[in-house]
Structure 1
Amino acid sequence: MNRIPNPRHSALLIVDLQNDFLAPDGAYARGGAVSAAALQLPQRVAPVAQAFKQAGGLVVCSRFTLWPNARGEPMVSSHLKALRPFLKRGDFSPGSSGHAVVPPLEPHVDVSVDKVAYSAFFNTQLEWVLRRAGVEAVFVCGIVTNGGVASTVRDAHARDFDTYVLCDGCAAFNDDAHRAALKDIETVAAVIRCTDATDMMHCSG
């Protein structure tokens, strides 16, 4: 991971920056569970996404999804229901406004994959998309650092992608968890800043 990746073989992977997590009228705002640090991410990540697009890179977003059952109720894992009891019918539902990528990032997204667990690779078509697009290097950002981001990073590493994490493009529910996750991630990925990723995309590859 010491070489500068070719932008045309690179992907920015944005984990779960969705309205239901961040918007004032989203599910997490209703439940009083919005991460203050996460609210800063869309404006910070948008220039990186734009740089990827300009350089010919791929921008992919994972969207956490609560699929409805036959009665229209969300199928929520028991551990998540215990942690977030406020989740209700319509939250993170496919096609809803809450399920959508936040507005500052949506125009830059090439591909979205819907996920049901922490990792953006688990039970999704993400790996197929990345392989088909010729991606060799994956730059990961989003929420939360010690959850979806960390799980996605480890799965990318296990699949032999050159893996980078944007330390200031990620957030958790507290700084200690964020820092601890980044420290652990350093064992499998390069931890860089958003400006570093943008600079890499401006290089010829």
Structure 2
Amino acid sequence: MAGIPQIEPYPLPGATELPGNIASWVAEPDRAVLLVHDMQRYFLRPLPGPLLTQLVANIARLRDHCAALGIPVAYTAQPGGMTEQQRGLLKDFWGPGMGTDPADRDVLPELAPAPDDWLLTKWRYSAFFGGELLRLLREHERDQLIVCGVYAHVGVLATAIDAFTHDIQPFLAADALADFSAEEHRMALAYGAQRCAVVGTTGQLISQLDAASPVSAGAGGPGRTAHDG
């Protein structure tokens, strides 16, 4: 049956459970963009409560820290109500998709974009489809992309591969991603680490960013800045 399956609870991966990285890239504040991938209500509905709570907390921590360091934050979101032509082959695997109701389209309020964030319309698995993300990365002279959100083995992995193809270094925030199952989550991280990305936990990526920042946000971590409210 087409569509997102109901997801059973599973623990998000910790630092000791991550695959070994081949690339030695380090996330840097003056090179990186954070991409919050597809955190819309429609996509999150199948996630069990505890998993969603932990996912949102880790994304919010990463998002707030990036904002405090002046790192651009981008969001992908499907428009909903796609025509059959717009939907294309997606309909054969996922059905008609979301409608235009805010109950489907809205990003969770805990992760709501700030006024200066980049808002990207999502049409296919990869966030690069359509060219806007690549244009913004080039325009802002950014060549690293930290990805968090859903779903790891679908759009997140497709976006990471596309970033790699464009010589943008992708970083996968392992515990700020979720998937249909623990197995598919691990598969996405393993493929990323072996073929196209650097995989790290939220804490590890924050530590990398702080170490590379001329003005670190401090050991206690930043408060909400661009996203206060």
TM range (shorter): 0.7 to 0.9
1:131 aligns with 2:141: no
For 2:154 and 2:76, the matched residues in 1 are separated by 13
Is the contact between residue 12 and residue 57 of structure 1 (CA under 8 Å) also seen in structure 2? yes
Is the contact between residue 137 and residue 161 of structure 1 (CA under 8 Å) also seen in structure 2? yes
Q: What does 1:124-163 correspond to in 2, within 5 Å?
A: 124-163=131-170
**Match of residue 25 from structure 1:** none
Give the letter for the 2:108 counterpart. V
Is the contact between residue 25 and residue 198 of structure 2 (CA under 8 Å) also seen in structure 1? no
Summarize deviations over 1:41-84 as a string: whole Å, max 9, x none. Answer: 22211011111111111111111233444xxx895445535544
**Match of residue 100 from structure 1:** 106
TM normalised by structure 2 equals: 0.72
**Match of residue 80 from structure 2:** 66
Name structure 1 gaps, 5 residues minimum: 23-28
Question: SS at the partner of 1:160?
Answer: coil
For 1:174 and 1:43, the matched residues in 2 are separated by 19
Is the contact between residue 38 and residue 172 of structure 1 (CA under 8 Å) also seen in structure 2? no
Summarize deviations over 1:121-180 as a string: whole Å, max 9, x none. Answer: 012401001111121211111111110000000000111112211111111111111111
**Match of residue 91 from structure 2:** 80
Question: Taking structure 1 as reference, are residues 82 and 48 closer, same or farther at Cα in structure 2, changes over 3 Å only?
Answer: closer
Question: SS at the partner of 1:139?
Answer: strand
Question: Taking structure 1 as reference, are residues 56 and 66 closer, same or farther at Cα in structure 2, changes over 3 Å only?
Answer: same
Give the letter for the 2:47 counterpart. S
For 1:173 and 1:4, the matched residues in 2 are separated by 28
Question: SS at the partner of 1:164?
Answer: strand
For 2:203 and 2:182, the matched residues in 1 are separated by 21
Question: Taking structure 1 as reference, are residues 79 and 121 closer, same or farther at Cα in structure 2, changes over 3 Å only?
Answer: closer
For 1:6 and 1:88, the matched residues in 2 are separated by 36
Deviates more, 1:149-158 or 1:183-192: 183-192
Question: Taking structure 1 as reference, are residues 155 and 75 closer, same or farther at Cα in structure 2, changes over 3 Å only?
Answer: closer
Instruction: Give the superposition deviation at 1:38.
Output: 4.4
**Match of residue 17 from structure 2:** none
Question: SS at the partner of 2:125?
Answer: coil
1:194 aligns with 2:205: no
**Match of residue 38 from structure 2:** 16
Instruction: Give the superposition deviation at 1:89.
Output: 4.2
Is the contact between residue 143 and residue 149 of structure 1 (CA under 8 Å) also seen in structure 2? yes
Give the letter for the 1:80 counterpart. K
